[in-house]
Amino acid sequence: MLQGALKGALTAMVSPFREGILDESRLREQIEFQISNGIDGLVPVGTTGESPTLDFREHERVIEITVETAKGRVPVVAGTGGNATSEAMILHQYARDVGADACLSVNPYYNKPSQEGLYHHFMTLADKVKLPIVLYNIPGRTGITMSPQTVARLAKHPNVIAIKEATGLLDMASEIMSLCDLPVLSGDDSLTLPLMSIGGRGVISVASNVIPARIKEMTKLALENNFTDASVIHRELFPFIKSLFLDGNPVGIKYAMKLAGLDTGELRLPLWEANDATKQTIERCLKELDLISVH
């Protein structure tokens, strides 16, 4: 069952652009790079994929290309969230139709629904589209936090198979785990190992766009309860991971990918490139990891 397969390291993929256009060939290259480095799953068109700047057809095209290129070698969890239930349903249905294994559905943003509104939003999607859902709790982006009690209610639905927990609070993850058996995946790279130490199953990672094998190695060790060796990797990668978010995401990771020989082109407005201090910090961290233009 897919629920059991969603563990370890999954990559929150960037969307590559060239002169304002989706770079489809580069996207396929990224996917092959990820799979050849042993990643456990691909998550296109989430926050890291600049989903708010993609129109509907572009959004669908990224999902379609990812599914086509992955060819079943790893699970594809397509970003399909929306702040209108009707729009989210269109994207959910499209992801199902093109063969995605599951979808990542973020809390509806900007309009700040109540807990009951959140519950009925996700229940409507789970009832009407037969595609497994990974809930996505990220109040820093959406302006609303889904409570552990609401998560536990939703976890009773067979189509709700996991949650990407990005509140930055281990207490939140602990309370979810105390209320239900829903697998919890970290949505914060820096908290991956701490979260796994209390029962988390892995991470949907930004950093793995550059270092998929290292993130995979750390999560594999943690899943084997080898936290001694996993913590060595955690400490080694921590400065680099923190540097990626100094000017926001995916600003940092796109610059890091360029330095590492994995250039994905420009950002889309209103996102803008990192400032000079952040660029210097990212470059220093990459040099310490021996990752400048290695690919």
pLDDT tens per residue across span 234-262: 999 999 999 999 999 999 999 999 999 99
pLDDT tens per residue across span 29-49: 999 999 999 999 999 999 999
Q: Is residue 37 part of a domain?
A: yes
Give the CATH number, domain containing residue 129: 3.20.20.70
Please name every residue paired with 203 in a beta bridge, in sequence order, or none if there are none. Answer: 9, 186
Q: Is residue 81 part of a domain?
A: yes
Per-residue pLDDT at 4 exceeds 80: no
Give the model's confidence band at 1: pLDDT under 50 very low, under 70 low, under 90 confident, else very high. very low
Q: Which domain holds residue 134?
A: 2-223
Judged on CB neighbours under 10 Å (0-12, 13-18, 19+), 287 is exposed
CB 214 within 8 A of CB 233: yes
Q: Judging by DSSP bridges, how do beta strands 133-137 and 102-106 pair with one another? A: parallel
| Active-site amino acid positions | 136, 164
Closest CA relative to residue 258, chosen from 187, 210, 197 = 210
pLDDT tens per residue across span 169-227: 999 999 999 999 999 999 999 999 999 999 999 999 999 999 999 999 999 999 999 99
**What is the C-alpha separation between 49 and 197, in angstroms, rounded?**
28
Residue type, 223: L
Per-residue pLDDT at 294 exceeds 50: no
Give the model's confidence band at 293: pLDDT under 50 very low, under 70 low, under 90 confident, else very high. low
What's the pLDDT at 3? 53
CB 28 within 8 A of CB 69: yes
DSSP state of 186: E
Q: Is residue 189 part of a domain?
A: yes
Q: Is residue 234 part of a domain?
A: no
Instruction: Provide the whole-model pTM.
Output: 0.95
Per-residue pLDDT at 5 exceeds 90: no
Gap between the terminal Cα atoms of the chain = 35
Q: Is residue 273 part of a domain?
A: no
What is the count of structural domains for the chain?
Answer: 1
Q: Is residue 267 part of a domain?
A: no
Q: Is residue 193 part of a domain?
A: yes
Q: Is residue 219 part of a domain?
A: yes
pLDDT tens per residue across span 55-101: 999 999 999 999 999 999 999 999 999 999 999 999 999 999 999 99
